[in-house]
Structure formats: structure tokens, C-alpha cells
Amino acid sequence: MNSALPLLPVALMLMLSAPAFAQDTPAPNQDTPESDEPLPLVKNPELVEYVQAPYPEAAKEEGREGTVLLLIEIDEAGDVSYIEVLESAGADFDAAATEAAWNFVFDPAEDANGPTPVQIEFSYGFVLDASTVEGAVEDEQAKEEVFLPINLDGVVVEMGTKRPLANFPILITTADGTVIETQTDENGTYEAAVYPVGIVSIQCAYPEYETSVREIELTEGDRTSLRIWMKNLNYREDELVGVYRKPSADVARRTLTMEEVKRVPGTFGDPVRVIQSLPGAARSPFGSGFLIIRGANPEDSAVYVDGIRVPLIYHLGGLVSILNPDLIDTVDYLPGSYGVQYGRSLGGVVDVKTKQEFPEDNQFYWSTDIIDSGGLVQGRVGDWGVAVAGRRSYIDVFIPLFTQNQNFTVSPKWYDYQVKVQQLDRKNGSLSIFAFGYRDQLTAGTNANTAQGSDPDFQGDFGSINSAHRAYVQWKHNFSDTWNMTVTPSYGIDSASFDVGGGVRVTQDQPMLELRAETRWAPSDRFNLLLGTDTVAGNFTFKAELPFSFEDAASFDPLAERNPVSFGGEGYYYTPDIYLQTEIHPLKDVDRWVIYPGIRYGVGQIWDTENPDPLINVQGWDPRLSTRFKTGENGTLKGGVGLYSQWPQPFEVWRPNGSTELDMEKVLSAELGLEQQIIPGLNADVSVFGKKLYDLIVDNPRATDADSLFYVNEGIGRIYGMEAIIKQDPINNLFGWISYTLSRSERNDYPNRTSELEADEVIGAPSSGDWYLFDLDQTHILTGVLGYQFPKDFGVSGQLQYVTGNPYTPYSGGIYDLDQDFYTGYSTAPYNSERLPNFFALNLRADKTFTFEKWQLDAYADFLNVIRGENPEFVVYNYDYTDRRFIRSLPFIPSFGFETEFHF
Amino acid sequence: MKNQYTLFSIVVCIATTGCSVQEMAQTWQLDRLRVLATQSTPAEAAPGDTVEFQSLIYQPPGESLEGVVWFGCLNESATSFGCTIDPDLLDGLSEPPTDPSEQFEWFTELQAAGLLGFEPALPPNWNIPVEALDTLDEADKVEGVSAFLNLTVIPAEADESGNDEDIEIAFKRYPISLNPEPNENPLLSHFLVNGTEYGLEEVPKIIAGGTLEFDVAFEDGSVQEYTYTNPDTGESEIRTETPYLSWYTESGRFSNTVSLLPYTSIEWTAPDTPTRSEIIVTVRDRRGGMDWIRFDVIVEAE
């Protein structure tokens, strides 16, 4: 068809990129008052009907070419309302171009109010080529063909993330200075007819992106594709979201989003660790990551992944979580007063949610630091999103460097994996499959020919292996606007084994089926109903080998002959808990007040196949009530009260003969708080709480042999305090928070006993019937986090911690046991009656993101304990308890790491 | 109370406590008056037998010992720390009654409380009560029970100042049974230095800062084989003792506090300055039997 074009008047359009420019140049007939500030355009005008000007005969015969620069005003309807020749190419060219331009039709420009008149500059070129000299074609079809030979196309994508960039303007400058503009569509693609061909310059500029300028050569008859990479000047700006509260029945729920918290010092790049900087979370020894939430034992807090309970959230030592950080979407941290969806725990809850969205391109992440390395591949396969991740530690290589002079080595190793598949674009819901697991192994010991104490039964190394695997299918469906359902069946297996010097060996396997299903019915915006079940059933097997029998242990006579025993158990358990919760909005202003009454019914049994009686047979109702009331636009009053029950720990539920006669441990919890926006971007959250613990499981002091009850529900406890957080949202690249917790946690193991009766004679001992401080009670916990994002993707942050020292029991001396060659310390002060010096530490972090065409490199340096106090974690006494030293917490630790992100 | 510091915390604690512990006095350091071992003859007795006791007390040069008070009791009148003794009776040890009649009365009360002796003036011995095993059935009588011995080591200075902080308190179990093959004390014959045998009167020499490997030799038959009959099942088996050694030194340092079969040797690093250092090694057979030897090492300048 091109050959039929004897005359090729090439119209070179210039639709100037800056819409403001078009409006800054007022049209002669425009009535807009000068004082009116024009609104920015949200859409540029687009030429939808082009009219070709006839090549002036005289110019053709004379071989003249030229370009006319026109000023064209386009009205709200897209019609041309005014034309002015800005640069003349000769009267004949000017007339032809102007006449043709009057017949152009545009898709009008738009601002926030809709279509709006604008002015544009338009270059109308007249060019002769070989074909045009042969003849002229005037028919309409030929005219259209003239403007369709697209010879340049491509896509504009963001460097590093490979994300397509929509509505990005592109300026193309040819060798003769002609400028052509186009822009990307919603998929980031663009195309243009660029003439004359030859070397052309292609420029793409956009706010917050580095301008890209490329030169390429276009050849006649060829179509060239060019991918343009745009570097975002600050990738992190969109990522700074952080800690926020999501209104729900969980009064104290704090939801963490990943990108901000990953940059908190001391987290080793793992977002889950930031929980320990939030109110209610006590400092754990050696930064080990134990969840000590609101004065509860670490084992009393529950950990979930997408609602499926897992044994632990951190690998050995608490340095990193069991999930790849890039697979985590949010972390819900619930220190107390949570809803009925969560149960079987007295302490707090941590629920890690994995990502629900998958990128359109394929992505590969790789992270490496001094602890471990891991990778993640995610993308799409057909209608399914797929993510595969894995990680392996190598910290065991470094630890011997620090312990080589101590004749003692520690070797922790771990790995984890995750595979997630999710159906995309599923109508009215979603379907996903997720499998994940981990394995932690720890060995410790001395050299082979060095005695480890004097006991011949414990001369081997210490070793432990813990592993857990889970696989679930999650189906979500919206039956209607008012009714939805989520069903998550899962299968899992937990295994644990440990070997204490070859003398004590225990192995345990626990496969399980779990069903979490809930349906919500919301007939109106003032009422909805949630009904769910949290059912777990499975079986267990364990085997134990001990160098001494229960009777040997009870007699505690080191001169007596030992009788090694080997025993095991096999059985099954089930606990079909159900829960019901309503959401009531009593006022017409539905957002002002919401009440969440709920109740959870917990029931469960554990059976040993060799035992006619159930080991555990428990049931109970846990009623809970929480509420939120808006005190104004910026304040919310909140409160909650509820009962929480917890099963016995695994080591407490077995007995050789008969039932353990154990009931669930219970806590009555109450909380009252206020959320208040101080100024935009600065929010405060203050709560007071109290917990009454009862039926706590403690050692049975009357146990004498294997037929005795090993544990009894005699203990009680009380925990009370307040917690507060003031948080600066990420504004002007600044983020941070100050959290403070004031609390006291106490226990009384045997409240019905007195020291004068049957308990130990040592006043204040846990067995005496007196109140004593919880081992990890910390009166004041103050944490400050501050971070700043500089340009060029460079960030620094700091974390300051001040925490009251843990309580400990002082010893005054020791009594020498001649048979066992060691001293037993005796105390003249009550149990946990003294405190370690306070803890103080400053951690710093600096990170920088480097962006390349197809990948990004995020490098960081984490400096733990840049400034620190004495920071004792424990008291250690000398051999006869006449001298003591504090074991200091972790020293200054520089940690370096990087993460890469590839798109392919 | 559930105090579940997880494994890693314990291990990290152990791994990081090494330096702090080494800053304090070590159990192998002989730097104060202390009891290191006792020996009972016989090592295991039957009801009605008479047992003689002796103690191994280390006295630093220049410090004198007032004495070692021995008490004994059967299991039913003991706690996990040994015999329960009226503290008022013990107060009299530092300020005995001066009136002869009160003195006699006090001494009678002490004997009733289980006083066995007061080294060195009154060598301790014990006539094992004939009813010691009466509550046991015949099978358990062979296995026997453990009675308790309590020792209070009183330095001479404690009497003068009235300060009892330097008093050392120790306790020991003593097996009483009708075992036809009663336990005997292990016996150490001599010591070895770098694999070479030394008589107890010989004194090895070493350059300051140097290291030696010490070991001991047992008398033949000293590590016993014995028959153990489980009183619950009636099954019998031959068992062999697994004695272990505890090492002490006045100067220098040991690489470990104990050694046990099959690696009974231990490394000793001499102090950096010339001296004469006493080395004491005790052996326990885990059935109540004990023995010890003492020898000196001369540390010479380079």
C-alpha cells in the first residue's frame, strides 16, 4: 500500500508532554480568569482522527519540504477551536497544514473535573521521498495507510521490579530535530511512527524517576522494539507502612506490614522479630526471641501461620523466623484480649499471614547474611500463582570461632521451606495450597576425651532435633454480599528428639489433622455473625530412655544402683473447639460503637492406647467480650474481658497408669484502652490490663513413684500493668515509635500450703506457698525506634532499649555433697527477691538499595549493642556459692547481609 | 513453676559463661580450708558393725584447723542435706559449757543427736544401729539404704572471731546393707606424670608455665566387679565400678575438674613463677567408697 503513496506528507505530532504548559499558555479566546489555578490534567488529549493535507503542487515540483508548527486549541468536545501558525514553512505549506488541522478530531484532555480545553503545539511535516515523486494518491484509504506504519514500539518498566509503568510520556527526537510524543498504555507498552528513520533519541521522564535517554537506529521498513528501564529514585517510599491497628474484636491487635519493620535494627532482616519492640513483649534473654507477652510463660503464647498453629515461630535462638521474610505479608500481634478465633493459650498470639498476591512476572529473591542464606522464586503458571522458598543456616560454622578456648562447642543448624500455590482470578473467592516446614538441630559438647562432669551416663554430646511440617488447602468463597465462608483443612507432623549426653534419649512424633473453618453472615451493616471451628485431631508416639527409673529419681540417692528404663506411649487426641462471635453496631452511626460478644467451647481428650482411662479429658466455655467506641474523629475507647483456657504442655499429659487428672489452665483477662491521634501522622495507644491466672499446672510435691500424679492444677498467678505506644507514621521519610510497658507478673504454685505445714522451710521458695515474681518479670520496658530514609534508597535507623533486670534468687553459700563432689547452694532470701541490673542497649542499622535493570540489591549493616550497659542475663556462682558473676548479654555484633531481587 | 528456657538459651549461656566462671575461684583451686573427701572403713557395713571414718581436709599454709565434727543418722531423720541437727547444740561447739555437769549433759545430747566424733581429739566411729534395715524386706536389705554423715569443718579462727563464714559444711551418704559382697574402698597406688610412674614420695619437676599430664594407678582389684540384684525383678547382673577422679592443686591450673575412665589423665599447667605445689587427687567409686593421694611438684624457673 505504501507504494501507492506518491506524496507523503508526514505529520509529526508534538503533543507536548507537560499538560500544564498547554494550559499555562492561554488561548486567545479562553475566558478562564488569570487568577484561577488550572487543575493538573489527568489525561492528555489524543488525536483520534487525522486529516492529511495535500502536498502543495508547487512545492512538490520544486522539491521543497518543510514543517509547520501549529498551535491548536482543543475544546471540551475534542474539536479544534483555534489554530495559529507558530513557525511558518511557507505560505503554501502553512495553508495546507492549517486547513487539514481544522478537521482533526481529538479525544479531549481531562482534569479532575472532566474534559477541559487545552492548547497543544503540533508539527505538521511535508516530506518528499522516492515514492511520492511517482504520483499522488488522494483517496482516504491511502491517507490512513500513511499514518499507520508503526516502526517503533516497546514497553516501559521499572528497574529492579520490572513493573510495567502506565501513562509514562515518551519523547522521540529524529535526526532532523522533529519531536514525536507518545505515552505508555495501562500495560506499559507504547508505539509510534517515527520518520525520518535513522538515529533517533528516545527520552522518558517522569516525576520520582530518573530520566532515561536512549539512542537507537531505525531502518526503513523495519519495526524496532525497545524496552525502556526507569529507575525509581526512592523505591521504599511506597513500602513504608509499618505498624497499624486494624479494628477487630481483638482489642490489642497490632498488624505489622513488612517493609518498614524489616528495617528496624536488631531484626536481622526478619520482620517477625520486631514484635519484641512492641508494647507487652518482654525482652528475651540473649535476644533469643522467646515470646514473653504480658508476663506469660513463653510456652503460653500461641503462634499461627495463616491461622494454622505451629510449635514455634523462630528457629533456634530466635534469630530468624521459620518463614521466608519475602513470603510474609503481615504479622498480627495480639498481646491480649483477642477474639474467640484463637484459643488454647493463656498468653499472646502471633499470626503470620503469607502473601495472597503474586506478581505477573517471575521474581527471584536471594538473601545472605552471617546467619543463613535463602531464596524465593515466585511467579505465575497459567492461572496459578506459585511461590517456592527455602533457607539453610550456617551459623554453626562461626560459633566455634568464639568458643574455641572454652573446650565447648555449639552447633545449631536449621532449614525451612515453603511452597505456595494459589488460583488467580477465582470468581467470588480464592483457593490456595500452602506447604511449609522446618528442621532445627542443635548439638553441643566437649572434646571426645574430656569429661563432661562426673556422671558416666552423660558423657556424650547434647543433641536435639525439632521439626514441623504443615500443608493446608484454603478455600474462601463469597456466596453473596452478606455470606462468606473460609475452610482450611490441613495436615501436619511435629517431631522432636533430644539426647542428653547419651543418658537421656527422647523421641516424639505427632501427626495431626486440623480443620479451621468459619462462616460469616452479615445481614446488615449493624450486625454480623461469625461461626467457626478450630478442630485438631491426631495421634502421638513417643519413646524415652532414661539411665534411672522413676523410683531412682524419687529416692535421689547417688549411691543407689541405677536401673535404666525404657518406656513409650502411643495414643490419639482430638479437640473439636467451636466458637461463635457477633459484631453489633448499636448506634445509627455504625462506625461509632461496635461490640463483639463471643464464646468459645473447648473440649478435648487424649488417650493412650494401653490405658483404659483418658490421659486428659477436659472441656470448658470461654466467654469473651470486647468493644470499641469512637470518642471523636481521632479517638477510640476500647476494652475487653474474657476467659482463656490452655491445655497442659506435652510433657505433662502422659502418665504410665491412669488419668493425669489435669484440667485446663485458665486466665481471666481484662483490658481498657484508648487510641488517639495526637496530630495527623502521630498516634498514641494506651492500655491498662489485668490477668488472674488459676488452675496452673505445677509439680506434684507428693509424687514418690511412677504411680503418682506428676502434676496438679494448684498454681495461681496475677499479672497487671499498662502499655503504651506513640507512633510516627512514615511521613517525610521519617518513621518510628516509642513503646513502654509497665507490668508485674507473680505466681504462687501452692496457695493452699504454708511453709509451716508441709512445704519447704525456705521462706519464699516456689514450693512454700508464698507469692514470688515470675522469672522474666520486667517492670519497665522502654523501646524507641527511629528511622529515616534518605534519597537514593539509603536509610538509617536506630533502636534504643531500656528494660528492668530480671529477678533472681541470691545464694549465700553452699553445702558440699561429698558423694557427688559438688556444692548445693542455699539461699537466705526469698525466691527471685533480687533483680539483675537494668538492661540498656542501642542498635543501629544502615541499608542501601542498588537498582539495576533487571534486579535490585538491598545491602544492610546491622550493629547490635553499639552502646550497651552491663546487661546481665544470668547470675553464675562459683563452685561453692561464695562468689558470683553476671553473665552479660550479647556483645557488640556487626551483622552484614544483602538481599537480591531478580525479575525475569 | 514452669521455667522453660529453651535449649538454645541454655547452651548459649553455657557457651558464654566460660570466661565469667574462669574469673572466679575454681573447684580445683586449693586456696582455703575445705574438706575434699572422707573414707569409711568398711566402705559398706551391716547393722551392728562399727565403722571408722577419716577425712581429707586441706589446710592452706598458715591456717590451723580447730577440728571436724561428725554426725551420723539414719535416713528417716535426715533431709536432702543430711542429718537434721538442732542448731543450738552446734552453738555449743564454739562455746562449750564450762560446768562439768552441764558439759556432760550437753555431750549426752550431742551423742543422742548422732555425734560420731570430733577430729582429731575424738576419732569418729559409728556403731550402726541394729534396727537400721528392719523396715525393709529381705530383697531390699541386700540392696540396703543410705544413712547420712554430716561434717562440720571448723577453722581455728572461727572460734576466736565468732565468725562462722569460714566453716565448711558437708554431708555424705553411707551404705548400710546385708550385701554378701559389700563394697570396698578403691585404692590408689601411685601417680604418673607424662606416663611415667612416680612413688608417693617422689617429687617431679617442671619449668614454670609448662604442662604435665597427670594420671593415677589403682591397686589391683580395686575397681570391683559385683553382682547387682534388682529387688523388684529379682534379676541379677554383673556390674563394674566406674570410678572418677577429682583433681586439686595449690597453684597452676587443671584443664578440667574431673577425669574418668577410660580417660583418667588430666593436663596441669604449672604457674609462671617457681614454687612447690601440692597436688591432691581423690577417687570415688560411686558406691560410697573413696581414696586419695597427695604429692608435690616443684616448679622451677626457666
Interface predicted TM-score (ipTM): 0.92
Q: DSSP labels for A24-61?
A: HS--TT----TTSPPPPEEE--EEEE--PPPPPHHHHH
Interface check for B141 against chain A (CB to CB < 8 A): the answer is no
Helix (H, G, I), strand (E, B) or coil at A848: strand
pLDDT of residue B284: 94
Statement: residue A556 has pLDDT above 70: yes
Check CB contact under 8 Å for B11 and A444: yes
Statement: residue A30 has pLDDT above 50: no
Lowest mean pLDDT across A100-104, A333-337, A537-541, B91-95:
B91-95
Spell out the residues 6+ positions from residue A758 whose beta carbon is closer than 8 angstroms to its own: A701
Greater pLDDT, A400 or B70: B70
Check CB contact under 8 Å for B255 and A407: yes
The size of chain B, in residues, is: 302
Spell out the residues 6+ positions from residue A91 whose beta carbon is closer than 8 angstroms to its own: none
Instruction: Identify the CA nearest to A354 among candidates A390, A306, A313.
Output: A306
Instruction: Tell me which H or E stretch contains B7.
Output: helix B7-22
Greater pLDDT, A262 or A239: A262
- The shortest C-alpha distance from A435 to chain B (Å) reads 26
Measured CA to CA, the distance from residue A265 to residue A842 in angstroms comes to 9
Chain B, 170 to 189: residues with Cβ < 8 Å from chain A are: 170-173, 175
Lowest mean pLDDT across A182-186, A267-271, A832-836:
A267-271
Q: Which of the four pLDDT bands, split at 50, 70 and 90, describes residue A296? A: very high
A620, burial (CB in 10 Å: exposed 0-12, middle 13-18, buried 19+):
middle
A461, burial (CB in 10 Å: exposed 0-12, middle 13-18, buried 19+):
middle
- Which of A559, A697, A877, A880 is the best substitution to test chain B (most B C-beta atoms within 10 A)? A559
Amino acid at A636: T
Measured CA to CA, the distance from residue A540 to residue A536 in angstroms comes to 13
pLDDT of residue A187: 85
Check CB contact under 8 Å for A815 and B288: no
Helix axes A395-403, B7-22, angle to 10 degrees: 20
Q: Which three cell numbers stand for residue A238?
A: 511506597
The DSSP symbol for A326 reads G
Spell out the residues 6+ positions from residue A607 whose beta carbon is closer than 8 angstroms to its own: A571, A572, A573, A614, A615
Alpha carbon distances (Å) from A507 to A538, A611, B172: 17, 20, 36
Q: DSSP labels for A156-185?
A: EEETTT--B-TT-EEEEE-TTS-EEEEE--
Interface check for B226 against chain A (CB to CB < 8 A): the answer is no
Greater pLDDT, A550 or B84: B84
Check CB contact under 8 Å for B27 and A408: no
Interface check for B80 against chain A (CB to CB < 8 A): the answer is yes
Query: What are φ and ψ of residue B115, in 5° steps?
Result: -60, 125
Q: Which of the four pLDDT bands, split at 50, 70 and 90, describes residue A253? A: low
Helix (H, G, I), strand (E, B) or coil at B289: coil
- The shortest C-alpha distance from B95 to chain A (Å) reads 23
pLDDT of residue A309: 92
Helix (H, G, I), strand (E, B) or coil at B293: strand
Amino acid at A525: D
Global pTM value: 0.75
Residue in chain A closest to B8 (alpha carbons) equals A317
- The shortest C-alpha distance from A645 to chain B (Å) reads 17
- The shortest C-alpha distance from A698 to chain B (Å) reads 6
Spell out the residues 6+ positions from residue A824 whose beta carbon is closer than 8 angstroms to its own: A814, A815, A817, B81
- The shortest C-alpha distance from B278 to chain A (Å) reads 20
Provide the residue-wise pLDDT of chain B in tens; the chain has 302 residues: 333 334 445 455 455 545 456 678 889 999 989 999 999 999 999 999 999 999 999 999 888 888 899 999 987 777 777 888 877 777 776 677 778 888 888 888 888 889 999 988 889 999 999 999 998 888 888 888 999 999 999 888 654 555 556 789 999 999 999 988 899 999 999 999 999 999 888 899 999 999 999 999 999 988 999 988 887 788 888 999 989 999 999 999 998 888 887 788 999 999 999 999 999 999 999 999 999 999 999 999 87
pLDDT of residue B203: 92
Lowest mean pLDDT across A343-357, A566-580, A650-664, B37-51:
A650-664
Chain B residues with beta carbon closer than 8 angstroms to that of A874: 13, 17
Lowest mean pLDDT across A115-124, A627-636, B178-187, B224-233:
A115-124
pLDDT tens per residue across span A443-466:
877 666 666 777 877 777 788 999
- The shortest C-alpha distance from B180 to chain A (Å) reads 16
Measured CA to CA, the distance from residue A519 to residue A537 in angstroms comes to 21
Check CB contact under 8 Å for B255 and A318: no
pLDDT of residue A419: 96
- The shortest C-alpha distance from A491 to chain B (Å) reads 26
Check CB contact under 8 Å for A406 and B288: no
Alpha carbon distances (Å) from B280 to A163, A885, B182, B191, B247: 77, 27, 27, 10, 6
A317: left (phi over 0), alpha (psi -120 to 50) or beta: left
The size of chain A, in residues, is: 904
Residue in chain A closest to B34 (alpha carbons) equals A816
- The shortest C-alpha distance from B144 to chain A (Å) reads 9
Statement: residue A470 has pLDDT above 90: yes
Q: Quote the longest CA-to-CA distance of chain B.
A: 65
Instruction: Identify the CA nearest to A771 among candidates A749, A754, A803.
Output: A749
**C-beta atoms surrounding A800 within 10 Å:** 18
Check CB contact under 8 Å for B242 and A876: no
Measured CA to CA, the distance from residue A344 to residue A333 in angstroms comes to 16
Q: DSSP labels for B89-142?
A: HHHHHHS---SHHHHHHHHHHHHHHTEEEEETTB--EEE--TTTTTTS-HHHHH
Chain A residues with beta carbon closer than 8 angstroms to that of B172: 817-819
Q: Which three cell numbers stand for residue A158?
A: 521499572
Nearest Cβ partner of B258 from A407, A454, A697? A454
Given a contact cutoff of 8 angstroms between Cβ atoms, the answer to whether A895 and A862 are in contact is: yes
- Which of B12, B22, B44 is the best substitution to test chain A (most A C-beta atoms within 10 A)? B12
Helix (H, G, I), strand (E, B) or coil at A509: strand
B32, burial (CB in 10 Å: exposed 0-12, middle 13-18, buried 19+):
middle
Per-residue pLDDT, averaged over A408-431, amounts to 87
Residue in chain A closest to B261 (alpha carbons) equals A456
pLDDT of residue A738: 94
Q: DSSP labels for A213-259?
A: EEEEEE-TT--EEEEEEEEES-GGGGT---EE---SS-TT-EEEEHH
Statement: residue A346 has pLDDT above 90: yes
Instruction: Tell me which H or E stretch contains A321.
Output: none
Amino acid at A461: D
Chain B residues with beta carbon closer than 8 angstroms to that of A558: 173, 286
Measured CA to CA, the distance from residue A129 to residue A512 in angstroms comes to 79
Check CB contact under 8 Å for A815 and B170: yes
Check CB contact under 8 Å for A561 and B143: yes
Interface check for A746 against chain B (CB to CB < 8 A): the answer is no
Strands in A245-322 per DSSP E: 254-257, 302-305, 308-310
Instruction: Tell me which H or E stretch contains A197.
Output: none
Interface check for B239 against chain A (CB to CB < 8 A): the answer is yes
Q: Which of the four pLDDT bands, split at 50, 70 and 90, describes residue A421? A: very high
Per-residue pLDDT, averaged over A539-551, amounts to 87
Chain A, 612 to 651: residues with Cβ < 8 Å from chain B are: 649
Percent of chain A exceeding pLDDT 70 equals 85
Strands in A632-779 per DSSP E: 635-646, 665-679, 682-699, 711-731, 734-748, 772-773
pLDDT of residue A42: 62
Lowest mean pLDDT across A319-333, A514-528, A776-790:
A319-333
Measured CA to CA, the distance from residue A380 to residue A296 in angstroms comes to 43
Alpha carbon distances (Å) from A677 to A27, A226, A682, A727, B274: 47, 49, 6, 10, 75
Interface check for B27 against chain A (CB to CB < 8 A): the answer is yes
Statement: residue A143 has pLDDT above 80: no
Statement: residue A73 has pLDDT above 90: no
Check CB contact under 8 Å for B14 and A408: yes
Check CB contact under 8 Å for B146 and A442: no
Chain A residues with beta carbon closer than 8 angstroms to that of B26: 878-879
Measured CA to CA, the distance from residue A574 to residue A557 in angstroms comes to 40
pLDDT tens per residue across span A597-615:
999 999 999 998 888 889 9
Statement: residue A808 has pLDDT above 70: yes
Interface check for B225 against chain A (CB to CB < 8 A): the answer is no
How many helices (H) and strands (E) chain B has is answered by 5, 21
State the count of interchain CB pairs (< 8 A) between A and B.
167
Q: What is the mean pLDDT of chain A?
A: 82
Interface check for A396 against chain B (CB to CB < 8 A): the answer is no
